[in-house]
């Protein structure tokens, strides 16, 4: 089976145009990664005709970087992708802080395209707003 047959082909995300002025399209594994990124960066209620679509990752923007919060983020990512991205089987989700930037977390998602035996990873950056202390 050709990957585009199962995964599909569509407009690139974010929207782009080619050098000759046509709408840029993408297919295969790159399309799946873009779709997963779209799920994780859309908050439920942002899409009027699909009000439940997305994930509640933004709820963690002001949370402290603790193992409990990491576990809650992992759970939200798993649940959101299971609900909204049926073409991928999420194997593992790991959340860890960037070494050189205190307000950046990396969400490492190990997944397999359903029907294939090709393990892939997507690293989704997630920015938090650091606590600036009491005033």
Note the pLDDT of residue 132: 62
* CA nearest neighbour of 83 among 107, 108, 111, 54: 54
What is the C-alpha to C-alpha distance for residues 92 and 115, in angstroms, rounded to an integer?
Answer: 18
Phi/psi for 116 (5° steps) reads -125, 170
Note the pLDDT of residue 25: 87
In the predicted model, is pLDDT for residue 2 greater than 80? no
Domains and CATH numbers, the chain: 3-127 (3.10.450.40)
3-state secondary structure of 121: strand
What is the C-alpha to C-alpha distance for residues 109 and 93, in angstroms, rounded to an integer?
Answer: 5
Model confidence, pTM? 0.82
What is the C-alpha to C-alpha distance for residues 14 and 94, in angstroms, rounded to an integer?
Answer: 25
Note the pLDDT of residue 10: 80
In the predicted model, is pLDDT for residue 3 greater than 80? no
């Amino acid at each position: 089976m050709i990957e585009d047959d199962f995964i599909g082909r569509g407009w690139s995300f974010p929207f782009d145009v080619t050098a000759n002025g046509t709408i840029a399209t993408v297919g295969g594994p790159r399309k799946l990664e873009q779709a997963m990124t779209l799920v994780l960066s859309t908050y439920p209620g942002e899409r009027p005709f699909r009000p439940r679509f997305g994930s509640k990752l933004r709820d963690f923007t002001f949370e402290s970087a603790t193992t409990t919060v990491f576990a809650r983020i992992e759970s939200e990512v798993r649940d959101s992708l299971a609900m909204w991205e049926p073409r991928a089987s999420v194997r593992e989700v790991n959340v860890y802080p960037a070494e050189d930037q205190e307000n950046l977390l990396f969400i490492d998602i190990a997944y397999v395209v359903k029907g294939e035996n090709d393990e892939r990873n997507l690293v989704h950056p997630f920015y938090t707003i650091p606590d600036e202390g009491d005033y």
